[in-house]
Amino acid sequence: MKKLSVLLVFVLLLSVFAGCKPIEAPPSPAAPTGSAAAPVESTAAPVESTAAPIESTAVPGDSTAAPTQTPQPAGDDDGVHPMLFHVTGPEGAEGYLFGTIHVADERVNTVLSKLLPYLDACDALAVEFDIVAYENDYAAQMASMQQFLLQDGSTVDQHMPKELFDRASALLNEAGLMPDLTKIYNLSMWSQLVEQAALMTRTDYSMEIGMDRTLIQHCYEKNIEVRDVESAELQYGLLAGFSDELNLLLIENTLDSLEDYSEAIDRLYGAWLAGSYEGLMEVLEEEDEGSEELTEAQKALLEDYNDKMLTQRNLGMRDKAVQWLEAGDKVFFAVGAAHLMDEDGLVALLRAAGYTVEQVEYR
């Protein structure tokens, strides 16, 4: 079973929940313009990364090994070079494929500075969806939230075992997310709020300075077009569509993982900064203690969850990337890093579609 409590920071834009504290309606500021605010500086102390830069950039699904990263002079390598791929087609089409992380610390600004030679040379930035524009669209936010309200007059504690509700409430209280005021929301929302509370209370990372947001805000400043690969409607619909049984399992998984939550996110973030494919896969493929105790029904729920969260979305993302490549658009395609990984990830899917995908050696 994939470690669900760390998987989400790579596959869904959890930062959309940062401004969605229940009951209080979100503000409706002016729509973003080319003079959008610069990325927010984090005050959290940086977490030291122990992951070493990778020497080999081979990725499953490639028929030949990708080029090895060129060592940099001693003292010049800060260990920050997340995986960036140059994509080229047989007819000369080209673009870039970058794996983001949706929570981060101030080191995202170092990452951004290294990406600028490639990003600024593109016609557009493509992200899962433009979270900055979404946060300025009050009507869209309210419409999204409707599907997370309990419609039968019940409260969420009536849909959870008391012991699990008490544990989840304690964590939300610790994070300042007011559990008494969130009872009108269903288990789909609560599974996200519990995940958000774990990030807020167990790590120094912020959803306000995720890599996606940092890239979007830079493009607003430089008047670079921002395109949606998916949409807020798709992601919210996906989250709202999972069963109560799965959401209870997700909540329990996060609560059971709190003791080693910080270490797991640190390792994931360190491997992402270093561009370590092997390191990322190691964390993503870890098995939780006690996973052997899952019932066959629970295993089936998790298989369906991973299929919808990753496999099926990867196919849609590939189709978008191919569409723009075939149109001759040079796009900087930036989606959660988990979507690049493994044999059903975008790197392998684009290679199977006839494109050359090579890891970039940072300038």
Whether 140 has a pLDDT exceeding 80, the answer reads yes
- The pLDDT > 70 percentage for the chain reads 77
Question: Which pLDDT belongs to residue 43?
Answer: 33
pLDDT average, residue stretch 157-178: 96
> Mean pLDDT, the chain, as a whole number?
80
Q: How would residue 59 be classed by pLDDT, with cut points 50, 70 and 90?
A: very low
What secondary structure, in 3-state letters, does 283-312 show?
HHCCCCCCHHHCCHHHHHHHHHHHHHHHHH
Count other Cβ atoms within 10 Å, centred on residue 178.
16
Residue with tokens 């610390």: 105
Looking at residue 333, its pLDDT comes to 98
Say whether pLDDT at 327 is over 60.
yes
- Span 10-36, average pLDDT: 41
pTM for this one? 0.80
pLDDT score recorded for residue 293: 74
Query: Is 50 a residue whose pLDDT tops 70?
Result: no
Mean pLDDT across the stretch 214-219?
96
pLDDT exceeds 60 at position 254? yes
Amino acid at 228: D
Q: What is the pLDDT of residues 259-273, one digit of tens each?
A: 988 988 898 899 999
pLDDT for position 49: 34
Rounded to 5°, the CA angle 154-254-316 comes to 85
> What is the token pair recorded at 189?
């929302």
Closest of 348, 310, 313, 146 to residue 236, by C-alpha: 146
| Arithmetic mean of pLDDT, 183-202 | 92
